[in-house]
Amino acid sequence: MPSVYHHPIVVDESAIDRMGHVNNLRYLAWIIDAAVAHSDVQGWSGDDHDRIGSGWVVRSHQIRYLQPAFAGEALRVVTWIASAKSARCLRRYKIVRPTDRAILASAETEWAYVSFATGAPIRVPREVIGAFDIVADDPDPFAEVDEARRAAG
């Protein structure tokens, strides 16, 4: 189970805006997709949260756009849990283009854990937060790519 999750993306033509690059809202969709995929890989799908009657909602997003992305590019959203407290966690992301090692965006989301019945924040169950490692320092977003290249020879 990965502490740092790498979520692959190929930029579809439908993601392109009037400026000829990826629309900012796509970055938001990508980070949410990556967070959900990481949770699924760690054993906590939406169905699992439905079963226990609680799950995550977004409190805030912060995205810093650094470079544009274009149709056809293969990207990765690299994500990890940076901190967790009682009923909250902070998840960080880097959207990268491995071909030139460019960091296109960095982001973070504060997630709150809530009861589905009441919508009120509740303490994250041990089995949920225990499925994730806390990665306090920013990891190298290209480590997995470099490792794959070394393995390929």
Supply 23's token pair: 């629309």
Report residue 96's pLDDT band, with 50, 70 and 90 as the boundaries.
very high
Give me the pLDDT at residue 152, please. 76
Share of the chain above pLDDT 70, in %: 97
- Is the pLDDT at 40 greater than 90, yes or no? yes
44 by DSSP, 3-state: which? coil
Q: What is the pTM of this model?
A: 0.92
Q: How far is residue 125's CA from residue 116's CA, in Å, rounded to a whole number?
A: 14
Distant-in-sequence, close-in-space partners of 5: CB < 8 Å, separation ≥ 6: 34, 37, 38, 41, 78, 79, 80
User: Which H or E element spans position 150?
Assistant: helix 143-152
Q: Which domains does the chain have, with CATH numbers?
A: 5-152 (3.10.129.10)
Tell me the pLDDT of the chain averaged across its residues.
Answer: 95
- Is the pLDDT at 99 greater than 90, yes or no? yes
Q: Which residue has the tokens 């009120």?
A: 120
- Is the pLDDT at 151 greater than 80, yes or no? no
Q: Which regions of the chain does DSSP assign to beta strands (E)?
A: 5-10, 54-65, 74-85, 88-97, 102-115
